Chain A
Amino acid sequence: MKALILVGGFGTRLRPLTLTLPKPLVEFCNKPMILHQIEGLVKAGVTDIVLAVNYRPEIMVDLLKNYEEKYKVKITFSVETEPLGTAGPLALAKEILAKDKSPFFVLNSDIICEFPFEQLRDFHGAHKNEGTIVVTKVNEPSKYGVIVNRRDSTLIERFVEKPAEFVSNKINAGIYIFTPDILDRIELKPTSIEKEIFPKMATDSQLHAFDLEGFWMDVGQPKDFLTGTVLYLSNLSKKQPQLLANSTIDNYVCGGNVLVDPTAKIGKDCRIGPNVTIGPNVIIGNGVRLQRCVILEGVRVKDFAWVKNSIIGWHSTLGRWTRLEGVSVLGDDVAVNDEIYVNGGCILPHKCIATNITEPQIIM
């Protein structure tokens, strides 16, 4: 089987992290975003993965070569010379996607969920039509485009953009499976799959909806990245609690959902959690309080610091008695001096912060 991952551009919404690493390589719960997807795809029998990108960073090429060997999968970059929207990249990668009759997966690279690729493959194989969209339920459908099914059927009847009155609570989760026949509908030009292709497929009775179980989040921006982390860790605590720090062994754990890389070191009298991820080679000092935050590789958090609702970029240093909150995001190698307060600071790589940031702002 084959898959196409829509990576797209530079990931500007996730800056300042994406100033250092391309978005697919930013670690989500201690694993590069794209690896969550690759692992799921490989498990469902995918052997060919196309990354639809509009730039090709060398760092990504090198890293994905390693994955090719490790996961026995062929990874190809399909580079757009102009942005082709969400459908155009399928036409561009036609050679690979149409090389055999087997269906292929398409997914947005910003999505985090329990990828149900195997069930999706089986569901799609059972209905034998052109496409299946994974749908997820949301609380406030009026913010999204919703999907209305035909009565008593998985077939999609229509799409409604930002409905004023309730018609459905199901939205497109950004994960699809198609038979190669869909490629006849797509030309090599900028095209939106959601607006230009799907409505026609629905009219032709070729498009089904597949209900996603469990959590789902588009983690393309910092606030949602943190929310996605909470959802992922909560799910992990139910499905694979052995991967999380155990409060009966590690007395620093507070409220659970704490994921700590085995190479990280944690000082005494800390209180960590709920909803914290700590990356490789991180050093946490004494008396540190962390909650609802992401600490990336090589970060040093000095004694008595307090961090909440924040993402701390690689190799950054937080001084003693620092306090970070309000969705602060630190880029690579940021230093925050002792006793500094940062509220909603978005701090670009290699900066040193020596005065308080009391209101949300970008530090260039």
Chain B
Amino acid sequence: MVFKAIILVGGPSRGTRFRPLSLDVPKPLFPVAGHPIIWHHLEALSKVEELQEVLLVGFYEDKVLERFIEDSSRDFPQINIRYLREYQSLGTAGGLYHFRDEIQRGNPEQVFVLNADVACSLPLNEMIKFHNTHRGLCTILGTKVNREEANKFGCLVAKPDSREVYHYVEKPESFVSDLISCGIYLFDCAIFNEMKKAMYNKTNQVDQDQFQELDAKLRLEQDILRTLADARKLYVYETKDLWMQIKTAGSAVPANALYLAQYQKNNKDRLLKNEPDGPEIVGCVYKHPSAIIDPSAKIGPNVTIGNRVIIGKGVRIKDSIILDNAEIKNNGCILNSIIGWDSKVGHWTRVEGTPTSNHATSITQNGIKIQSIAILAKGVSVKDEIIIRNCIVLPHKELKTSCHNEILMFVFHFYSF
């Protein structure tokens, strides 16, 4: 059996909710647990035997992904990685349909389709095993979530024993099911025939209804999966592992924790251990070898420290991502935060977010929705001894006074020409 995989990476006009971090790096390449979000997809795919090729499909300019493809080809030499660029957004299924010949070249029998914006253990081999037991065209990875949160996702209703999906609805208003789609699919190549039909139906529909806006976008969820469910060709493989969607920038923090927990399970050597003369390490901590941490610091759980980061004396970091070249000066305290590339946090300064549940990254306080994770974008500098709590700080801002529950937008030098 020969496989291919598609990772839907989207484009610059998508992922605006990932600002301010996506102002400096495209969301699929944002590092969690020390590697770009989609690197974790590649790692899971590298464990699938007879996987020929991984195609990244999206509408970023080629050069945006060039470096990533180079680096990950080195990390996963057994897989061929290429980028297929849509010149306009064609919808999640439209892109696949557009590149159908490219995808089917080499005659793969089955194709994985992975959305870039999810973090989970990706049990791909288990999906294959399950897929070969039923007569459907597609196996969808599903998971159970809290009833209250289910309507934020694509909801599935499946037969309890056969796992055949007979109802699929995207983001319903009322409660339909607590079993949801993880945005990870395994298709038989025959799916392209279904896409062709769906495309035909869609254009006909548009022709019939003059008042409906022409929409060439073919959406995987609404246009394909629904049809498959109606035709009883859709099956769900349910995972009990942690899963989450990476929508907002703040959700990178729980995603980071999720992948660090994966390391703990499968690649313990990637995590820092307590050494006699080293810093105090609590739980899962990933550190790039080039980063320097003072032995009097206390780090963890759920912390990733990027390239060439400097962590001073008596620093405390917990549930946070410290991006490349950042510096946390002596006695600083970083909790539930993302510290952007090249940012500097002063002595005794505290940057703090508020912990939330898995699928929420904002909290409500006095009826006002506020950001729960504190985020400093690239090149932000924070003065000594202040506190930045539940704030998002846009790139290159200089913070001189404490701030709570704000989005800090303006660059200081706007005012001094």
Let me know if B316 and A323 touch, CB within 8 A: no
Kindly report which residue of chain A lies nearest to residue B352, judged by CB atoms: A341
Let me know if A304 and B333 touch, CB within 8 A: yes
Q: A306-B385, A323-B350 are in contact. Are A339 and B314 (CB under 8 A)?
A: no
CA A306 – CA B384 in complex, angstroms?
11
Let me know if B330 and A287 touch, CB within 8 A: yes
Let me know if B316 and A304 touch, CB within 8 A: yes
Q: Mark A residues whose CB is within 8 Å of B.
A: 269, 271, 286-287, 289, 303-304, 306, 320-321, 323, 325, 339, 341, 356, 358
Let me know if B333 and A289 touch, CB within 8 A: no
List B contacts of A289 (CB < 8 A): 331, 347-348, 385
Let me know if A339 and B331 touch, CB within 8 A: no
Let me know if A358 and B314 touch, CB within 8 A: no
Shortest beta-carbon distance from A204 to chain B in Å? 56
The 9 sampled A-B contact pairs (Cβ below 8 Å) are: A269-B314, A287-B331, A289-B348, A289-B385, A304-B331, A306-B331, A321-B333, A341-B350, A356-B352
CA A287 – CA B313 in complex, angstroms?
8
List B contacts of A303 (CB < 8 A): 314
Shortest beta-carbon distance from A320 to chain B in Å? 7
Of listed B316, B318, B331, B385, residue having the most chain A CB within 10 A = B331
Shortest beta-carbon distance from A32 to chain B in Å? 32
Other-chain contact of B387, A286, A287, A304, A323 (Cβ < 8 Å): A323
Shortest beta-carbon distance from A75 to chain B in Å? 45
List B contacts of A304 (CB < 8 A): 314, 316, 331, 333, 348
Shortest beta-carbon distance from A271 to chain B in Å? 8
List B contacts of A339 (CB < 8 A): 316, 318, 333, 335
Other than A269-B313, A306-B331, A341-B350, give 7 A-B pairs with Cβ distance below 8 A: A289-B331, A306-B385, A321-B333, A323-B387, A339-B318, A339-B333, A356-B352
Other-chain contact of A321, B313, B316, B347, B389 (Cβ < 8 Å): B316
CA A260 – CA B100 in complex, angstroms?
77
Shortest beta-carbon distance from B84 to chain A in Å? 47
Interface code B299-332, partner A: CB below 8 Å = 1, 0 otherwise?
A: 0000000000000011010100000000000110
Shortest beta-carbon distance from A236 to chain B in Å? 25
Shortest beta-carbon distance from B292 to chain A in Å? 18
Let me know if B330 and A269 touch, CB within 8 A: yes
CA A271 – CA B318 in complex, angstroms?
24
List B contacts of A341 (CB < 8 A): 350, 352, 387, 389
List the 9 closest pairs (A to B, CB-CB), nearest first. Answer: A287-B314, A304-B314, A321-B316, A321-B333, A287-B331, A304-B331, A289-B348, A306-B348, A323-B350
- The reply on B404 being an interface residue by CB < 8 A is yes
Let me know if A358 and B350 touch, CB within 8 A: no
Interface majority SS on A: helix, strand, loop or mixed? loop
Q: B322-357: which have CB < 8 Å to A?
A: 330-331, 333, 335, 347-348, 350, 352, 354
List B contacts of A358 (CB < 8 A): 389, 404
Shortest beta-carbon distance from B361 to chain A in Å? 18
Kindly report which residue of chain A lies nearest to residue B384, judged by CB atoms: A289
Shortest beta-carbon distance from B345 to chain A in Å? 13
CA A321 – CA B387 in complex, angstroms?
12
CA A198 – CA B252 in complex, angstroms?
70
Of listed B298, B333, B347, B385, residue having the most chain A CB within 10 A = B333
List B contacts of A286 (CB < 8 A): 296, 314
List B contacts of A325 (CB < 8 A): 387
Let me know if B333 and A323 touch, CB within 8 A: yes
Kindly report which residue of chain B lies nearest to residue A270, judged by CB atoms: B331
Shortest beta-carbon distance from B258 to chain A in Å? 22
Shortest beta-carbon distance from B291 to chain A in Å? 20
Shortest beta-carbon distance from A326 to chain B in Å? 10
Of listed A289, A303, A321, A325, residue having the most chain B CB within 10 A = A321
Q: B1-28: which have CB < 8 Å to A?
A: none
CA A358 – CA B335 in complex, angstroms?
15
Other-chain contact of B316, A269, A271, A320 (Cβ < 8 Å): A320
CA A303 – CA B335 in complex, angstroms?
17
CA A325 – CA B350 in complex, angstroms?
12
CA A304 – CA B279 in complex, angstroms?
15
CA A287 – CA B389 in complex, angstroms?
22
List B contacts of A356 (CB < 8 A): 352, 354
Let me know if A306 and B350 touch, CB within 8 A: yes
CA A325 – CA B404 in complex, angstroms?
14
Of listed B313, B314, B330, B354, residue having the most chain A CB within 10 A = B314
Shortest beta-carbon distance from B15 to chain A in Å? 30
List A contacts of B350 (CB < 8 A): 306, 321, 323, 341
Shortest beta-carbon distance from B373 to chain A in Å? 15
List A contacts of B298 (CB < 8 A): 320
List B contacts of A287 (CB < 8 A): 296, 313-314, 330-331
Kindly report which residue of chain A lies nearest to residue B366, judged by CB atoms: A359
CA A286 – CA B387 in complex, angstroms?
20
List A contacts of B348 (CB < 8 A): 271, 289, 304, 306
Kindly report which residue of chain A lies nearest to residue B333, judged by CB atoms: A321
Shortest beta-carbon distance from A145 to chain B in Å? 37
Shortest beta-carbon distance from B329 to chain A in Å? 11
Kindly report which residue of chain A lies nearest to residue B405, judged by CB atoms: A358
Kindly report which residue of chain B lies nearest to residue A288, judged by CB atoms: B331
List B contacts of A320 (CB < 8 A): 298, 316
CA A339 – CA B282 in complex, angstroms?
14
List B contacts of A269 (CB < 8 A): 313-314, 330-331
CA A287 – CA B297 in complex, angstroms?
11
List A contacts of B331 (CB < 8 A): 269, 287, 289, 304, 306
Shortest beta-carbon distance from A293 to chain B in Å? 13
Kindly report which residue of chain A lies nearest to residue B390, judged by CB atoms: A358
Shortest beta-carbon distance from A286 to chain B in Å? 7
Shortest beta-carbon distance from A214 to chain B in Å? 31
Q: B395-415: which have CB < 8 Å to A?
A: 404
Shortest beta-carbon distance from A174 to chain B in Å? 36
Interface code B32-46, partner A: CB below 8 Å = 1, 0 otherwise?
A: 000000000000000
Shortest beta-carbon distance from B300 to chain A in Å? 12
CA A325 – CA B385 in complex, angstroms?
11
Shortest beta-carbon distance from B384 to chain A in Å? 9
List A contacts of B313 (CB < 8 A): 269, 287
Shortest beta-carbon distance from B251 to chain A in Å? 22
CA A303 – CA B350 in complex, angstroms?
15
Kindly report which residue of chain A lies nearest to residue B365, judged by CB atoms: A358
CA A323 – CA B330 in complex, angstroms?
15
CA A339 – CA B315 in complex, angstroms?
11
Kindly report which residue of chain A lies nearest to residue B335, judged by CB atoms: A339
CA A348 – CA B404 in complex, angstroms?
26
List A contacts of B352 (CB < 8 A): 341, 356
Kindly report which residue of chain A lies nearest to residue B354, judged by CB atoms: A356
